[in-house]
Amino acid sequence: MTLDTRAAVTVDLKSKTRPTTTKSTTSDKAVGGASHVVLIIWSIVVILPLLWTLLGSFKNTKEIFASPFGLPAEWNFNNYVSAWVGNNFGGMFINTVIVVGVSLVLVMVLGAMCAYVLARFSVPGSRVIYYLMLAGLTFPVFLAIVPLFFILQGMGLLNTLPGLIITYVAFALPFTVFFLFSFFKSLPYEIQEAAYVDGASEWRTFFQVMLPMARPGMAAVAIMNFLGLWNQFLLPISLNTDRSKYVLSQGMASYASSAGYALDFGEMFAAVIITIVPVLIVYIFFQRQLQGSVSQGTSK
């Protein structure tokens, strides 16, 4: 093949590949632009109701209907004080913190221990236990309400915070085990064996060696469990009828249903803000940790 022929072939190949590159770049830009448009629309759909609720929490009912998206004539916290003290949302907030906090600690400790044993040891029936945990993820909550009611009633835990805590832990445990199983499975066995050689017991190996290595997975599942438990509605409203033991989701439903046409929308919006602010703070504070944990877990 002469030099002229080689040059012609090279030019012909370049001419054939250029349109493909241009076409690929154009399609990437189109997909990126469409994705940004969808994300902008979705952000507006999410942010506008939150903004409307925040502005409404500083207004009275008449002002809310007169100018829904206008700024309040006077920025005051009367609605927040009235919701916190007058409607006992302060007590409900404390109940929610106790129930969610204790449930989260228990489910993380028990879930991590269960996932560690199932992932690292050849225990008889371990696969059966793992698949039963997975089956728990597919079981609808509303089908268990009636049996749970009679079980807690028989145990004397109906209408109590410990009864809610036990129920929360039971329903959050399968997801925790399922999520942490892959993290513990991917940890190197050499480090575990080195801990045994150094004389570490099983408990010390788990808590001081293996558990810190699974910190990304623990952080991710803790945040997701917190969001799910804090926003739980069906379980507390079905298993707790004592107003002194109400959590925030129950308080919101009870307040909105009992007020009827005399509902103070400004006070209700203040109660909504009280309910969602802790969730937003936790999510914003741990957002980087959540994204990093999920990406690290999938890369393993």
- The pLDDT, as a whole number, for residue 100 is 94
Q: For residue 87, which phi and psi values (nearest 5 degrees)?
A: -105, 10
User: 224, 254, 238, 239: which is closest to 91 by C-alpha?
Assistant: 254
Tell me the per-residue pLDDT of 172-230, one tens digit each, with 9 for 90 and over.
999 999 999 988 988 888 888 888 888 888 888 888 888 888 888 888 898 889 988 99
Give 250-257's long-range contacts (Cβ < 8 A, gap of 24+).
250/92, 251/87, 251/88, 251/89, 251/92, 255/87
**4 has pLDDT over 80:** no
Confidence band of 8 (pLDDT split at 50, 70, 90): very low
Tell me the per-residue pLDDT of 223-279, one tens digit each, with 9 for 90 and over.
889 988 998 888 998 898 888 888 988 888 777 776 666 678 888 888 888 888 888
- The pLDDT, as a whole number, for residue 177 is 93
**80 has pLDDT over 70:** yes
- The pLDDT, as a whole number, for residue 258 is 67
- The pLDDT, as a whole number, for residue 3 is 42
Confidence band of 24 (pLDDT split at 50, 70, 90): low
Tell me the per-residue pLDDT of 271-280, one tens digit each, with 9 for 90 and over.
888 888 888 8
- Spell out the residues 6+ positions from residue 290 whose beta carbon is closer than 8 angstroms to its own: 219, 220, 223, 224, 283
Q: How far is CA 167 from the centre of its chain?
A: 17
For the purposes of burial, counting CB atoms within 10 Å of the CB of 178, is it exposed (0-12), middle (13-18) or buried (19 or more)?
middle
Give 233-238's long-range contacts (Cβ < 8 A, gap of 24+).
234/141, 234/142, 234/145, 235/141, 235/145, 235/148, 235/164, 235/167, 235/168, 235/171, 236/99, 236/164, 238/145, 238/148, 238/149
Higher confidence at residue 245 or residue 21?
245
- The pLDDT, as a whole number, for residue 109 is 94
Question: HSE of 199 in the Cβ direction (CA atoms, 13 Å)?
Answer: 0
Tell me the per-residue pLDDT of 111-142, one tens digit each, with 9 for 90 and over.
999 999 998 888 888 889 888 888 888 888 88
Every domain of the chain and the residues it spans: 3-56, 89-299
| CATH number at 89-299 | 1.10.3720.10
Higher confidence at residue 81 or residue 283?
81
**103 within 8 A of 229, measured Cβ to Cβ:** yes
**266 within 8 A of 58, measured Cβ to Cβ:** yes
- Range 74-79 average pLDDT: 84
Confidence band of 165 (pLDDT split at 50, 70, 90): very high
